[in-house]
């Protein structure tokens, strides 16, 4: 992919699931380096070894609690120290834990806000290797079609969508030359989703097994969108396709 080639990326939640797949496809498409930012030392060390065995010294694992701004900032700094640049930031880390709704809010929305503004205001303007920088934020189809059994998760993902739409106006891009894209994966075959739908209270709302897609497909599509996605765009990835969605004017939603 033309945009990804020779670029440096930071991917939160990069040691498993969608983040792991995005990292893999970045490297497959010629990325110069990727900072794998994840809270799990076990998953991160394993991912780092796998990618180094396959791609050489193009990855660095940085164990990070994204809810702690000093740790997240350190992850940016360590990625830049390793690879000398930073061009792409993927705010992907997320959880689904309704009993601990405050933690879900902090990981899924507050940390995405922190990562977005660190990238937008500080690191991409200073360290990108070409004219354009890129931020990709992971939301969910449940941020569009909210589910009553997971209200906090749905609310946080709606917030991520609103963040990307708010910051992604063309006039802002004309000033910063930083694109902001939001992805909304559907039902993904990951431990996060499997654990959530099997938890008590979710058993009556399991999706059709045929609707699940692989993290690898999402990673492949995300790297494609890094080429073609316009700033402020929101992309659903489900049922083996990726498509942009439009949001109607509020007056067009008026009930008459």
Active site residues: 153
The residue whose two tokens read 């993904």 is: 188
Are 232 and 164 a contacting pair, CB within 8 Å? yes
**Would you state the structure tokens that stand for residue 24, as one six-digit string?**
């893999």
Could you tell me which of 79, 170, 154 has the C-alpha nearest to residue 119?
Answer: 79
The angle at the Cα of 79, spanning 76 to 84, to the nearest 5 degrees, equals: 115
For every residue of 90-154, DSSP letters joined together read EE------STTHHHHHIIIIIHHHHHHHHIIIIIHHHH-SSS-EEEEEE--GGGTS--TT-HHHH
**Would you state the structure tokens that stand for residue 135, as one six-digit string?**
């931020």
* DSSP 3-state percent helix, strand, coil across the chain (nearest 5): 50, 20, 30
Are 89 and 115 a contacting pair, CB within 8 Å? yes
Which residue(s) pair with 138 in the sheet? 183
| Dihedral sign from CA coordinates of 118, 165, 208, 214 | negative
The residue whose two tokens read 């917030």 is: 159
Which residue(s) pair with 122 in the sheet? none
DSSP element (H, E) containing 27: helix 17-28
Which residue(s) pair with 33 in the sheet? 8
């Amino acid at each position: 992919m033309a945009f990804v080639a020779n670029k440096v990326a930071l991917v939160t939640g990069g040691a498993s699931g969608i983040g792991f797949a995005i990292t893999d496809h970045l490297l497959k498409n010629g990325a110069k380096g990727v900072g794998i930012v994840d809270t799990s030392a076990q998953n991160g060390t394993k991912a780092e070894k796998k990618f180094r065995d396959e791609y050489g010294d193009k990855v660095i694992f940085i164990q990070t609690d994204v809810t702690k701004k000093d740790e997240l900032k350190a992850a940016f700094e360590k990625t830049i120290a390793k690879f000398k640049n930073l061009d792409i930031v993927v705010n992907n880390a997320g959880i689904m834990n309704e009993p601990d709704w405050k933690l879900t809010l902090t990981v899924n929305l507050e940390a995405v806000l922190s990562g977005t503004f660190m990238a937008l205001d500080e690191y991409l303007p200073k360290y990108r290797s070409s004219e354009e920088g890129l931020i990709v934020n992971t939301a969910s189809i449940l941020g569009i079609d909210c589910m009553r059994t997971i209200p906090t998760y749905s609310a946080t993902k709606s917030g991520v969508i609103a963040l990307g739409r708010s910051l992604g106006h063309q006039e802002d891009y004309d000033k910063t030359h930083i694109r902001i894209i939001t992805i909304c994966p559907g039902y993904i075959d990951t431990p996060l989703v499997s654990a959530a739908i099997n938890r008590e209270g979710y058993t009556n709302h399991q999706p059709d097994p045929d609707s699940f897609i692989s993290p690898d497909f999402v990673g492949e599509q995300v790297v494609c969108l890094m080429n073609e996605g316009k700033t402020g765009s929101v992309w659903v990835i489900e049922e083996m396709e990726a498509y942009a969605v439009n949001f109607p004017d509020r007056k067009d939603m008026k009930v008459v």
